[in-house]
Amino acid sequence: MQVIECTNQALPELFDPEVPDNPVLWAVLNGRHSGRALVDNVLSPSQCVLRTDPGLTFASHQVSQEFLQHALAYLRRDGELWLHGFKWSDSGSIAPRPNRISQRIEFYDYDPNDSRLEELKARLPQGFNIQRIDRDLIERCEWRDEMKFYCGSLENFLSNALGFCLMHGQEIICEAYVSSFGATYAEIGAITREYYRGKGYAPTTCTFLLQECEQRGFHGYWSCEMDNLASIRVARKLGFRREKLYQVLEYDRLR
């Protein structure tokens, strides 16, 4: 089975738009982030496996077992990867046996006009303010290295992603990010400095981020590990109406 590396990223029609973590996939397909695409035919591809630079990996509609296994083996020469959109079992899965399986949950479909979002915004404490993350502020952020990793560089984060901080004077209290703008969804997440956790600062900060996403024509999307109960609570406070469990199949680098 031949797999061909393709530099043309105009392949969105081959992929399921509702695949878990789809903003990450579409950020690559739309040229905001970088990745590698393997296809069965450069001129008229019918199968594709795409790996983002951080290793999140997606397969196209109706990918064959043979193509998927050859493509994963090819990509694993350069590092570990995480395959989205597949459930694995001893029988019935076309994906090869993973080294590990991560259990995750995704959240989407909220009402941007929901009164609870305005109520959360109104909880901004007196003396606190929301500041957009710029080149100077990102250097002080707890998730600086995570944004560099997922976006490829801090410069790309500043150009093609988004972040807000809840500030008290010069102190960063909470950070909220869009790491990937996809086709219609924007992947969001937040972290609060440990001393300030449990005070509701993350949902409040995220409401400002969601508002900015809506103004840009994107809907917020949230995902996390199933055991990240704090993250799940924030998503539910933001009013996401649809929740879905999914697996990520983790593969180590082939040496």
| Strand stretches in 11-122, DSSP E | 35-39, 48-52, 56-59, 81-84, 100-108
What DSSP character marks residue 124?
A: P
Report whether 40 contacts 46 (CB < 8 A): yes
In DSSP terms, 174 is beta-bridged to 166, 192
Q: Is the pTM of this model over 0.85?
A: yes
Single-letter residue type at 167 = M
Cβ-count burial of 52 within 10 angstroms (0-12 exposed, 13-18 middle, 19+ buried)? buried
Distances 195 to 109, 141, 168, 198 between C-alpha atoms, Å? 31, 15, 13, 9
**Topology, domain 110-239:** Aminopeptidase (3.40.630)
DSSP H/E element including 249: strand 242-251
pLDDT in tens, the chain (255 residues): 456 677 655 688 999 999 999 999 999 999 999 999 999 988 889 999 999 999 999 999 989 999 999 999 999 999 999 999 999 887 778 999 999 999 999 999 999 999 999 999 999 999 999 999 999 999 999 999 999 999 999 999 999 999 999 999 999 999 999 999 999 999 999 999 999 999 999 999 999 999 999 999 999 999 999 999 999 999 999 999 999 999 999 999 998
**Dist. CA 13–CA 50, nearest whole Å:** 13
Other CB atoms closer than 10 Å to residue 253's CB: what's the count?
13
Task: Dig out the tokens for 167 from the structure.
Answer: 């500030």
Predicted pLDDT of residue 79: 94
Residue 67's closest CA among 52, 81, 82, 47? 47
**Dist. CA 162–CA 133, nearest whole Å:** 7
Predicted pLDDT of residue 11: 87
**Dist. CA 113–CA 136, nearest whole Å:** 33
Predicted pLDDT of residue 23: 97
Report whether 238 contacts 117 (CB < 8 A): yes
Residue 108's closest CA among 249, 3, 239, 253? 239
Transcribe 185-244 into DSSP letters.
EEEEEEEE-GGGTTSSHHHHHHHHHHHHHHHTT-EEEEEEETT-HHHHHHHHHTT--EEE
Predicted pLDDT of residue 6: 73
Other CB atoms closer than 10 Å to residue 156's CB: what's the count?
18
Predicted pLDDT of residue 7: 62
